[in-house]
Structure 1
Amino acid sequence: MTDAVILYDYEWQTLRALANTAFPPLHADGLLHQRACERVISMLYTGQKRALRLMLHALSFRGSAVGFTRSYKLVTEMTEEEVQQVFLGFVHSRIGSLRMFATGITSLALLVAYRVSPELRKTLGDADTHPHLLSIKAKINTKEVIWHLPKFAIPPPLSPNQPAAITTDVVIVGSGCSSMVASYLLTKKGFNVIIVEKGYHINAITSPEHDFQRDIEAFEGEHNMTSADASTIVVAGATVGGGGAVNWSCSLRPTELVRREFVQKGAPLYGSKEFDHALAEVERVMQVSTKFGLEGGSDNEHSFTNDLILKASEKLNYRAKVAGQNTGKHRANSGFVEFGSRQGEAEGGVAEWFRNSFNNGARLLQRGHVVNIRHHNGYASGVEVVVDGSKTILINCKRVVCAAGSLQTPVLLQRSGFKNSHIGKGLKLHPVTAAYGVFPEQIVNKRLDPIMTTVCTEVDNLDGEGHGPKIEALHHRPLLTSFPLPYRDAKDFQTKVESWEHLCTLLVITRDKGEGKVSFYPPNPSKPYIEYTPSKYDLGALLKGSLSAANMLYVQGAQRIFLSSTFIPDFVSNKPVSERSIWDDDYQKWYQEAKRKEFILYDTKVGSAHQMGTCRMSVNGPKHGAVDGKGHLYECPNVHVIDTSVFPAASGVNPMITCMATAYVLANNLIADLTKLQTKL
């Protein structure tokens, strides 16, 4: 058994029997299905692949399979009903590794079925060609597209043994939210900037027409990345614009409680007037507003799910509010977001920073993987970049800015030989799960409805230190709504997946107490190795948030309510909404039973779309942080870290605004350094 072979034929036959039972691909081509499965498996960490193949190997031979199946039949010889019973044994096992195996099979089956089965996508109401994409393409030569990328010319090699070399003032590694702000401020002051991005620009012209194809191109690990123990699905942007390109327009400031904690942990920046100004300036440029939609004549600026959050919270006396949107006071729609903010709403959104950067002369090198930062005796001279997987170039510069995010920045620093013990540690992920309500008579969210325009904060401070869940709306796409679904059996799971249009899915997202770490992954130098397991406290917080979400769904009339746990039964009620109270006997009986349960690993599905804290800031020296109070790397002061890596703890809200305001302050510190250097020269 080697990693070079994805699956031997007997392993594939066993996997197919299990996957087709867990979730059939609906008449997909068999070879296409196999290749898609193997592609997903090839993206796993080495340890994950070996664990999967060991289990498939064991189930492929009678002597070893009987201990798992309690049958002398192989799963390839069983009826569908018999395979289902074996699979449910894994789902409900007390052994975590067996639950992990079952969860992996279910997720693989669902993901691959969606990718290879047009019939499934049609069943889920997900058209092969996005109607909004067609409308954008029809207008592509008009002013509707707000910015274009500058051309980047790579010079020829200096000699057969010397790669091409370029000189600039500042190299920025990564093109996400912090890069946008830093490049704008630097170029505005006349400094030469080169931004290096390992992904490419997905816009209305280049975007794949299928959602799943766009996901493969726009996200780290082809939208198929997990923590090393597979407990947490991790979603991170990997395109021009980074997280800003795939953010759902929700724009929230960090709370005063969180800012005070950041200060106490050695980052006085977050308690400063300078940071207050940065927050205001970021919101001004992006036109963040809670007043959106009504100007355009819309009857309601919210989707069904967002509206439910506000109305249910009012009934229950829960704290809730409208969340700011960076869409220029226009009604935010999912089409706008899905195309990476490439079609602006009245010049709003994160792209405004880049548009001005490029107008000021910034250059962008796409498909450029920064192999390492060249440094000697505490001074960095530039970066080494591999372009398109083949050509190597050197970019010489006065300053290197690491703005590749909390997964890639620490890996680049580790790969470059920096040794500070805080590099890669302290990873925060804001774990999320979902609570569901079925509204059979309602098309819950239409395709272009806003995604996340409201937030309930009733239980977001369970410990007095700001740790606890918020309740928001999940982007209403089939795969996103399906992954956290509980797996009771194949029929129930398929019914719930196919009821997608009628599912009101509430996102439960908690500010984590637990943490993990990120390290360099030698088999794939561009892939971070993520070690993170949701803590017991954070799983408990997710349960509390899910129960509050269930209350909201109940008072608004959901016919069926279920959480992301196979150990908590569905609740069903046909009582009219006008007669409902959370104190109803049947609902309270279900609620109290659910409250006594626990969310456990590999049963409750946990994901993350926020990454923070892996190069923490501290003014107290290198024993307490990786960077100082101005963003300088302690080991090499002309290397600056300007992204969510510097957060001393989790932000507790979508980190975009906090990240960009941090970048605003740190980029101005960098400008002061460069100006001082010019004065000396």
Structure 2
Amino acid sequence: MTDEKNSIHGGSQSSDAKSIDIFNEHFHLNEKQKKIFYAICGVFISELNEKEFDTYKNMKTKTNISKHEEKIKEFGQINFESKSDFSTRLLDRLLMTTPQHQLARISSMLKKMTSKGMTSYSMTTSSKLFYELDLKQRTDAVTKWSTSQKNSIKQFYKTISYLTCSAFWLNPYDLYPAIGYPGPDPEINGSRFKGRTFPEYEFIEITEDTKDLEFDVVIIGSGAGGSVAAARLARKSGNSVLIIEKGHHYHQSELTLKEKDGYEKLYELGGGMLSEDSSMTVLSGSNFGGGTTIGWSTSSEPSHFVREEWANNFGLNHFMDDEFNDSLKAIQNRLGVNTNNIVQNESNKILIDGCKKIGAPVVTVPQNSASKPHECGWCGFGCRYGEKQSVVMTYLKDAKDYGVKFIQDCFVEKVLIENNKAVGVEATVNNGEKKFRVNAKKVIVACGGLHSPALLLRSGLKNKNIGKNLFTNPTAAVYGIFPNKDIKNYSGTIQSAVCDAKENVDGEHYGARIFVGSYHPAMMSTAFPWKSPLEHKQFMLQYNHIIPLLTITRDRDPGQIRIDSNGLPKLYYKLSQHDADSVIAGLQTSLKILVAAGATKIGTCQVDVEEFEIAGENPLNDIKFLQYLEKIKKVGVSSGQACLSSIHQMGTCRMGDDPTKSAVNPLGETWEVKNLYVADSSVFPTSAGASPMITTMSIGFYIANCILTEKEFVKRRQSSLFGTSLNGTIIDNTNDEKRASRRKSLLSSFSSKRFSTIN
């Protein structure tokens, strides 16, 4: 692995002059190409002309209060040509969020635009180079790119618009007051949150003198699956366990709750990962604790129909067993999952009110907050207050207490395999400068839906199902504007209610669920299509009066993870018509909810659908509103037609009882290689259609129990059939022994299939 490969892929990056040199090295841009790049980016949040500014400043919203008039005016007239550091910020952001192969694609497009030929003309309808056009001409050109018939142009537009808007709103030149956003949580240093502190963790330091390490079990990934498996194995067997995490552990004092720091420190590719066609934004955790660190506290059980499908269609009967129910209960108790003491914020009150008025079902969402109030709208950037019971607060602490060791900022290159058995891993630290080996009897891959298949493929596994069956719970959004309500969608308890009215669109339990989004400025600015500088600024000026409703779809038809030349994951996903129907049903219902709740304007994530103003005494039956709903269906949400995102990635190492249709067997072990297990959301046979956290934890629990039936582990367990917990409680493991016997018989039944045809 090259240094650059590791640095581009990490969760955090530094901004310095060296990054620009790297940018120039890999883009090979000449001065003309750079000028085109800056001229394009400058369009998205450019200064308004006199007529536009008159329209802009006359907006009637509560944001327009006198003490911020100067900031509002500055926001309307901002010109990046006067901001000498913005080009540096753009380049740093681009480097952090864009893999090499996508950088090359952008570079190629910019190169084509430097010649006054057909490519340049097709993008500007002018014989002039892009930077030679005036602002209106540039704006008109960029606007047309969003609906271009050429996928390459539409993809280029999506990438650059996403880059520019996010780069600006992550640090908008002291212009947060213009939209009414406070920045970090105003209570960050208050007395309210001093009751809970993070556990202290120590990490093995890898130096030039470090020799190969020896452990019984090595686990790659510290998220929902890996943490639970580690705690379970260390407690039950006494074997030595090591967790390797490619991200970093940030203590409470290091969580600034700034949107920029949150994304750059805690998310994959700084929160800017895009699918290969740039149609989907991909959010995934890259830190100690994984997705549980950045999750919104949603703690849903897997639906009964999901469990039944996994049991009936994939031979996974354990998902219907009492043992799985017991693991769910144990995990929920450890996390304090409950609906008690949830205080609905203004956004969720609007969702609930709208649902009641149209007769749609709405329920409270369980949260992992130890049954206590958790009004923390900044939780997507880490719960500084220790209220959210992430695995940093729970299972990683348990693992530490039982002797598990940790390495952070460490990238596992490959699993080491000898005679079709996993014997350890090869890993690097310091951006690839130091390589070392961990020898182990068992290897558990728990890197998530993106990285688990990439690691298996880098390690030489050939099963055709590895990387296939990528489910994303595709997310699309609509918004409603409530000018007379101070909503502040990012405040209070977030994602605490859900509407399941469209959960079963096709009659086979594939459909959509509707939640409220907690959108801080950068996410809000990129969740909906950029239409023009004026519309973008008008939209963001109403920020505190906007409620985004999310349609999270249980997708039936999957995409795929492949690896690039550096072995890093590339996400290929195209929404099928079947799943698009579910998305549309969710969007239409969401708009009805907003209208019923009193929104004065509504809009969608679709490029070709304009904002709609509500009128009349009975707006739900207004002919124009009904026509608007039909237009939403007609325009659709196919690739490039809408802003889509994914906050859950699943299925890329599918579990099943048939090696021709799955990557791991029902015990979590790969069909090809013994002693190599996968224990995360990538083993899901289908999409979950909801937050996968609790299900993933239960799978980690189950797979750890499966490993404990192996001979070398049983021997150690026999001496502690009746043991004691950390607090001295007597533990009776006899039921575990009965279950272990059943798993042994299962294992023998799969052994004959292990080397069946898998290619």
Matches of 2:208 and 2:499 in 1, distance apart? 56
Q: Does 1:260 pair with 2:294? A: no
- Indicate which of 530, 553, 557 corresponds to 1:514: 557
Matches of 1:362 and 1:45 in 2, distance apart? 33
Q: Does 1:325 pair with 2:367? A: yes
Please say if residues 341 and 351 of structure 1, whose CA atoms lie closer than 8 Å, have aligned partners that are also in contact: no
Please say if residues 428 and 612 of structure 1, whose CA atoms lie closer than 8 Å, have aligned partners that are also in contact: yes
- Indicate which of 77, 83, 86 corresponds to 1:33: 86
Please say if residues 171 and 260 of structure 2, whose CA atoms lie closer than 8 Å, have aligned partners that are also in contact: no
Q: Does 1:313 pair with 2:355? A: yes
Matches of 1:197 and 1:590 in 2, distance apart? 48
Matches within 5 A, 1:114-513: 114-135=169-190, 144-154=196-206, 157=209, 164-189=211-236, 190-208=238-256, 210-263=258-311, 264-293=313-342, 301-335=343-377, 337-341=379-383, 343-345=385-387, 351-389=393-431, 390-445=433-488, 447-513=490-556
Matches of 2:180 and 2:234 in 1, distance apart? 45
Q: CA shift at 1:15, angstroms?
A: 2.0
Matches of 1:116 and 1:131 in 2, distance apart? 17
Matches of 1:209 and 1:505 in 2, distance apart? 21
- Indicate which of 161, 170, 177 corresponds to 1:106: 161
Q: CA shift at 1:111, angstroms?
A: 1.2
Distance of aligned partners of 1:436 and 1:143 in 2 relative to their CA distance in 1, 3 Å threshold: closer
Q: CA shift at 1:336, angstroms?
A: 6.3
Matches of 1:432 and 1:440 in 2, distance apart? 26
Partner AA of 1:150 in structure 2 = E
Q: Is the deviation greater in 54-63 or in 484-493?
A: 54-63
User: Which secondary structure does the structure 2 equivalent of 1:229 belong to?
Assistant: coil
Q: CA shift at 1:581, angstroms?
A: 5.1
Please say if residues 227 and 533 of structure 1, whose CA atoms lie closer than 8 Å, have aligned partners that are also in contact: no
Distance of aligned partners of 1:92 and 1:518 in 2 relative to their CA distance in 1, 3 Å threshold: closer
Partner AA of 1:424 in structure 2 = G
Q: CA shift at 1:488, angstroms?
A: 2.7
Please say if residues 146 and 355 of structure 1, whose CA atoms lie closer than 8 Å, have aligned partners that are also in contact: no
User: Which residue does the alignment assign to 2:11?
Assistant: none
Matches of 2:415 and 2:647 in 1, distance apart? 27
Distance of aligned partners of 1:336 and 1:503 in 2 relative to their CA distance in 1, 3 Å threshold: closer
Partner AA of 2:466 in structure 1 = I
Q: CA shift at 1:650, angstroms?
A: 0.6
User: Which residue does the alignment assign to 2:728?
Assistant: none
User: Which secondary structure does the structure 1 equivalent of 2:416 belong to?
Assistant: strand
Please say if residues 449 and 681 of structure 2, whose CA atoms lie closer than 8 Å, have aligned partners that are also in contact: yes
Matches of 2:378 and 2:130 in 1, distance apart? 46
User: Which residue does the alignment assign to 2:626?
Assistant: 588
Q: CA shift at 1:550, angstroms?
A: 0.3
Please say if residues 231 and 534 of structure 1, whose CA atoms lie closer than 8 Å, have aligned partners that are also in contact: no
CA deviation profile, 1:346-384 (whole Å, cap 9, x unmatched): 968762111222122111111111111111112222112
Matches of 1:639 and 1:302 in 2, distance apart? 44
Partner AA of 1:131 in structure 2 = P
Partner AA of 1:20 in structure 2 = G
Distance of aligned partners of 1:101 and 1:336 in 2 relative to their CA distance in 1, 3 Å threshold: closer
- Indicate which of 34, 42, 60 corresponds to 2:114: 60
Q: CA shift at 1:392, angstroms?
A: 2.4
CA deviation profile, 1:598-641 (whole Å, cap 9, x unmatched): 22322311110101001111123x22211111111112221111
Matches of 1:388 and 1:591 in 2, distance apart? 53
Partner AA of 1:466 in structure 2 = H
Matches of 2:503 and 2:362 in 1, distance apart? 11
Q: Does 1:562 pair with 2:607? A: no
User: Which secondary structure does the structure 2 equivalent of 1:7 belong to?
Assistant: coil
Matches of 2:682 and 2:380 in 1, distance apart? 25
Q: CA shift at 1:206, angstroms?
A: 2.1
CA deviation profile, 1:206-226 (whole Å, cap 9, x unmatched): 234532122111111111111
Matches of 2:230 and 2:197 in 1, distance apart? 21
Q: Does 1:654 pair with 2:684? A: no
Q: CA shift at 1:593, angstroms?
A: 3.5
Partner AA of 1:50 in structure 2 = A
User: Which secondary structure does the structure 1 equivalent of 2:689 belong to?
Assistant: coil
User: Which residue does the alignment assign to 1:23?
Assistant: 45
User: Which residue does the alignment assign to 1:160?
Assistant: none
Matches of 2:308 and 2:665 in 1, distance apart? 18
Please say if residues 99 and 603 of structure 1, whose CA atoms lie closer than 8 Å, have aligned partners that are also in contact: no
User: Which secondary structure does the structure 2 equivalent of 1:425 belong to?
Assistant: coil
Matches of 1:499 and 1:508 in 2, distance apart? 22
Q: CA shift at 1:262, angstroms?
A: 1.1
User: Which secondary structure does the structure 2 equivalent of 1:401 belong to?
Assistant: strand
Please say if residues 133 and 204 of structure 1, whose CA atoms lie closer than 8 Å, have aligned partners that are also in contact: no
Report percent identity of matched pairs. 25
Q: Does 1:537 pair with 2:575? A: no
Point out where structure 2 has 5 or more consecutive residues left out of the alignment. Answer: 1-22, 47-74, 720-759
User: Which secondary structure does the structure 2 equivalent of 1:171 belong to?
Assistant: strand
User: Which residue does the alignment assign to 1:598?
Assistant: 636
Q: Is the deviation greater in 429-438 or in 77-86?
A: 77-86
Partner AA of 2:596 in structure 1 = V
- Indicate which of 607, 610, 613 corresponds to 2:648: 610
User: Which secondary structure does the structure 2 equivalent of 1:253 belong to?
Assistant: coil
User: Which residue does the alignment assign to 1:4?
Assistant: 26
User: Which secondary structure does the structure 2 equivalent of 1:497 belong to?
Assistant: helix
Matches of 1:431 and 1:440 in 2, distance apart? 29
CA deviation profile, 1:289-345 (whole Å, cap 9, x unmatched): 11224xxxxxxx112221122221111111221110111122223356245345323
Matches of 1:250 and 1:371 in 2, distance apart? 32
Please say if residues 3 and 46 of structure 1, whose CA atoms lie closer than 8 Å, have aligned partners that are also in contact: no
User: Which secondary structure does the structure 2 equivalent of 1:15 belong to?
Assistant: helix
Please say if residues 255 and 382 of structure 2, whose CA atoms lie closer than 8 Å, have aligned partners that are also in contact: no
Matches of 2:134 and 2:324 in 1, distance apart? 63
Matches of 1:100 and 1:348 in 2, distance apart? 36
* TM-score between both structures, scaled by the size of structure 1: 0.91
Distance of aligned partners of 1:624 and 1:62 in 2 relative to their CA distance in 1, 3 Å threshold: closer
Partner AA of 1:164 in structure 2 = K
Matches of 2:518 and 2:619 in 1, distance apart? 28
Matches of 2:207 and 2:121 in 1, distance apart? 63
* TM-score between both structures, scaled by the size of structure 2: 0.82
Distance of aligned partners of 1:349 and 1:17 in 2 relative to their CA distance in 1, 3 Å threshold: same
Q: CA shift at 1:653, angstroms?
A: 0.8
Please say if residues 266 and 617 of structure 1, whose CA atoms lie closer than 8 Å, have aligned partners that are also in contact: no
- Indicate which of 645, 659, 668 corresponds to 2:682: 645
Matches of 1:5 and 1:286 in 2, distance apart? 47
Matches of 1:100 and 1:55 in 2, distance apart? 11
User: Which secondary structure does the structure 2 equivalent of 1:455 belong to?
Assistant: strand
User: Which secondary structure does the structure 2 equivalent of 1:508 belong to?
Assistant: strand
User: Which residue does the alignment assign to 2:664?
Assistant: 627
User: Which residue does the alignment assign to 1:89?
Assistant: 144
Partner AA of 2:664 in structure 1 = V
CA deviation profile, 1:55-92 (whole Å, cap 9, x unmatched): 32333332342233222232212221111111222123
Q: CA shift at 1:442, angstroms?
A: 1.5
